[in-house]
Amino acid sequence: METVSDKAKIRRLVEGEIERNGGLFRLAPAWVARPGIVQPGRRIKLGDEYMSQNLAVNERWLASATYADNGIYNDICPKDHGYSYIVAGDEKFMLKDAFAECPELMLGGKKWDVLPKFFDNWHRIPFHMHPCGKHVRKGLAGKPESYHFPVELNMDKNAFPSTPIGVDPYYTDAQIMDYLAAYFKGDNSLTDLGNTVNLVPGTGWFMPPCTLHAPGSLVTYELQTASDVSCIPESRVNDMPMPPDMIDRDLPVSVEKDGMEAVREYMLEMIRCENAGNSDSFRKEYFRPPVEISSAPEARQEYVIYRCGKASEDFSDDLYSAKKTVVRRHFHFGETSAFGAIALRGSGSIYVDGKEPLHIESASMYESRDECLEDEFFVAACAAGKVKIDCGSREPLTVYQHFASNSNEAASSLPIPEYRKFSPAE
């Protein structure tokens, strides 16, 4: 497949696809590898997980216009690591280039400031936090994020389906500093600080920036601001040492330049940041069960990612949002903004009346990272209000839609429903 980078040709290809099918674009999968501190969970349907001796694929980025930053390992990663490609016949070009060359057609004048992904691990990952806007190194963006655990990918929960989160109020600043000081002395046992929640398929969480968390082993559908910044103050996880740059890579202070004491003090400031959820009752403020939007015999739809803030507040910024649509026969999306989407169950077609339909079907396996199947697509702003979907399989066609900021006003103020794992006893 030929890769196109010429700007004029990309514009012609985008316009040609819009003329052909009304603004529906096939996306090739963007596989992302991480260093050996994580073990692939082997549930995101890729047959060959290994990119090199040091890197294994445990993530798939969706509708991505963001580079996957692996720090000291970037030199052995592909130059386009993390970027999604639009496939048009036997040619392909970056989704981010389509946004740059045809912003009004693709996005309707809005920004694509979201990074959707799946991550899939055998065990938990390191206890880490993502800097907020005021704690990240100059030139980088802060990173709040949200999680949903798709039932379609979590038949097997793997080794650690729980997540240590935050800092228990029991711990003083001096005690936290002692844990951080032990970083270079072996295992600093940092998850002692947190409280652990069990993860439930079909539910999710909002994760404020500057909040310590160690995501567990459920396959996670994650939406975050379009940034790949982290700070990992845990020294070892699953008895593996952290890469040496991950403690300070994205901070304005560094061990080499400022010393470990300055980095410790800065991380404590992050932990105590007003934007963090480290001192909150996490279940009360940040648990996110799905919220039904509509339900009919033909289809049902619900928000699975919404309310990017505290439950106790009446309003949250619409940083990003996601919907799950289960189609048994037919559904008219009628959205007001562009969105990316992936099918996790069934097959069928999406279309704009009078235009050529786009076939979609969930994938059972990708044999290699170069294979392009038909499970992922992008709906441009010019088509969002008109696109329809038909189920063509005996099982329901299930699609997850991801939206950038300011796409779904309702997602900012939805009432958060009470979650009942079991039906009330009669």
Q: Where are the domains of the chain?
A: 300-412
List residues bridging with 302 in a β-sheet. 292, 324
Rounded Cα distance, 26 and 264, in Å: 46
Conformation bin of residue 238: beta by default, left when phi > 0, alpha when psi is -120 to 50 = left
Check residue 280 and give its pLDDT: 86
What does the block give as tokens for 393? Answer: 């399989």
Say what the pLDDT of residue 153 is.
98
d(CA 100, CA 16): 16
Tokens of 397: 């066609």
- Is 159 within 8 Å of 167 (Cβ atoms)? no
Q: Are 151 and 201 in contact (CB under 8 A)?
A: yes
> Along the 426 residues of the chain, how does pLDDT read in single tens digits?
899 999 999 999 999 999 999 999 999 999 999 987 788 999 999 998 888 888 999 999 999 999 999 888 899 999 999 999 999 999 999 999 999 999 999 999 999 999 999 999 999 999 999 999 999 999 999 999 999 999 999 999 999 999 999 999 999 999 999 999 999 999 999 999 999 999 999 999 999 999 999 999 999 999 999 999 999 999 999 888 988 788 999 999 999 999 999 999 999 999 999 999 998 889 999 999 999 999 999 999 999 999 999 999 999 999 999 999 999 999 999 999 999 999 999 999 999 999 999 999 999 999 999 999 999 999 999 999 999 999 999 999 999 999 999 999 999 999 999 888 887 766
Q: What is the largest CA-CA distance in the chain?
A: 67
- Name the token pair of 253: 């202070």
The token duo for 217 is 């082993």
Q: Which of 137, 115, 118, 127 is nearest to 343 (CA)?
A: 118
Closest by CA position to 131, among listed 215, 221, 252, 214: 252
Rounded Cα distance, 386 and 377, in Å: 15
- 300-412: what fold? Jelly Rolls (2.60.120)
Provide the token pair at 315: 């309003």
- pLDDT score for 426: 60
